[in-house]
Amino acid sequence: MSALNKTLITVIGPTAIGKTSLSIELAKHFNTEIISCDSRQFYKEMNIGTAVPEPEELAAAPHHFIQNRSIFEDYNVGDFEKDALKKIDELFEKHDVLIMVGGSGLYVDAVLKGFDEFPKVDKSIREKLQNELNQNGLSSLQEKLRELDPITFNSIAIDNPQRITRALEICIGTGKPYSSFIGKAKDKRKFNSIKVGLNGDREKIYERINLRVDLMIKAGLIDEAKKLHQHKNLNALQTVGYRELFSFFDGDFTKEFAIEEIKKNTRRFAKRQLTWFRKDSEILWFDFKTERQEIINSILKKL
C-alpha cells in the first residue's frame, strides 16, 4: 500500500470512559500497534495517578509512548508531535492500520493536524505573570484569562499554571486571544485518519471517575504522590491527582478533602476534554457500552 492508503485510527473521549480497552480490542482486530498520546502517561515516575494500562493490557498489544520519559525532562507537545510522527512512519512500514489513543486533545491535534505556530512574545511578559502567580495565586491568572480569552479558559486545563501562563503571554503579547492561533497549522499528513469517540451520560461518566479515584487510592496513590512531593514544582506534576495530595502533605487539605478534590477536578477535566472534542465534526461517537464489533464494523466501512 502507498503511504496515503495507511490509516491511523484515533480513540478519544473523556477520562475513565474505556478508551484503553477499546484501543486494545482494535489493535487485536487489526493485528497492529498502539500510539499513546496521553500526556500524563509519558512519565515513568507517575503510574497509579495517571491510570497507566495494566501489565496484562500492555502485553495484549504493543504500546508506544507509555512511561518513556522522566518528570525531570522538558517535554512538550511540539516534541511529542515530532517523536510520534517518526514512530508512526516506522510502524506504517509493517502495518496498514495503527491505533492512537488518548484524552489529551492538544496532543491528538498535534499529530493529526500539525502543531500551531505562535508568535514570539517578550520574555518579560512571562516574568510578570510568574510574579503575579507567586503573589496572588493561580485564581488571579485564571480570572485574567477568562476576560481575555473565554474560549481557551473553557477548553484548557485551567488548574495547570504553565498552561494558563502560556495562554496569557500570547494574549498579552499579541493583543489577540490565544485561541485565535489554534488550528491554523494544516500540515498535510501522509496517512488517512479515522476518529472514534466514546461518551456516555454525564452522571455515568462522573460515577466511573469517582470509582476510579477510589481504586487509585486503594492501589497506593498517596504513597506514590508522597515520593514525588519534593519535586512538586515540576511541570509534569502540575496535574490532577498529585497536586491535591501535595496540598494534603503541606497541611492545606485534610486527606478526605484532598480525595474529594481529586474527584471534583477530574470531573472538571472530563468536561473540558468533551468541550475540546465536540468541536470536531469528524469524530464518530459511540456510547461507551456499545458492542465492540459494532464499532469495528463502522470503522471497516470507512477504510
Q: What's residue 258's pLDDT?
A: 98
Structure confidence at residue 1 (pLDDT): 41
Tens of each residue's pLDDT in the chain, 303 residues:
445 689 999 999 999 999 999 999 999 999 999 999 999 999 999 999 999 999 999 999 999 999 999 999 988 888 999 999 999 999 999 999 999 998 888 899 889 988 667 788 888 998 899 899 888 888 999 999 999 999 888 877 777 888 899 899 999 999 999 888 876 656 678 899 999 999 999 999 999 999 999 999 999 999 999 999 999 999 899 899 999 999 999 999 999 999 999 999 999 999 989 988 988 999 999 999 999 999 999 999 999
Report the predicted TM-score, pTM, of the whole model to 2 decimal places.
0.84
Give the type of residue at 137: G
With beta carbons less than 8 A apart as the criterion, state whether 131 and 40 touch: no
Q: Which residues contact 99 (CB under 8 A, 6 or more apart)?
A: 8, 9, 10, 11, 23, 26, 27, 30, 32, 33, 34, 35, 61
Interhelix angle 255-278/105-113, rounded to 10 degrees, is 30
- Residue ranges of the chain that CATH labels 1.10.20.140: 123-181
Dihedral of the CA atoms 20, 22, 23, 26 (nearest 10)?
A: 160
Taking the CA atoms of 232, 235, 237 and 239 in sequence, report the sign of the dihedral they define: positive
Q: Looking at residue 279, what is its pLDDT?
A: 85
Per-residue model confidence (pLDDT) at position 27: 98
Task: Return residue ranges of the chain for CATH 3.40.50.300.
Answer: 3-116+183-302
In degrees rounded to 5, what are phi and psi of residue 9? Answer: -95, 120
Alpha-carbon 2 to chain mean position: 31
Q: What sign results for the dihedral spanned by CA atoms 91, 69, 268, 226?
A: positive
Are 119 and 154 in contact by the 8 Å Cβ rule? The answer is no
Residue type, 236: A
> Which three cell numbers mark 156?
484548557
CATH topology of domain 123-181: Histone, subunit A (1.10.20)
Neighbouring C-beta atoms of residue 256, cutoff 10 Å:
9
Q: Cα angle at 223 between 217 and 224, to 5 degrees?
A: 90
The DSSP H or E segment spanning 200 is none
Q: Which run of H or of E encompasses 204? A: helix 202-219
pLDDT for 2 equals 43
DSSP string, 64-124: ESSS-B-TTS---HHHHHHHHHHHHHHHTTT-SEEEEE-S-HHHHHHHHH-PPP-----HH
Task: Report, in angstroms and rounded to the nearest whole number, the Rg of the chain calculated over CA atoms.
Answer: 19
Question: At residue 134, what is the residue type?
Answer: N
Q: How many residues does the chain have?
A: 303
CATH of domain 3-116+183-302: 3.40.50.300
CA 75/CA 68 separation, integer angstroms: 11
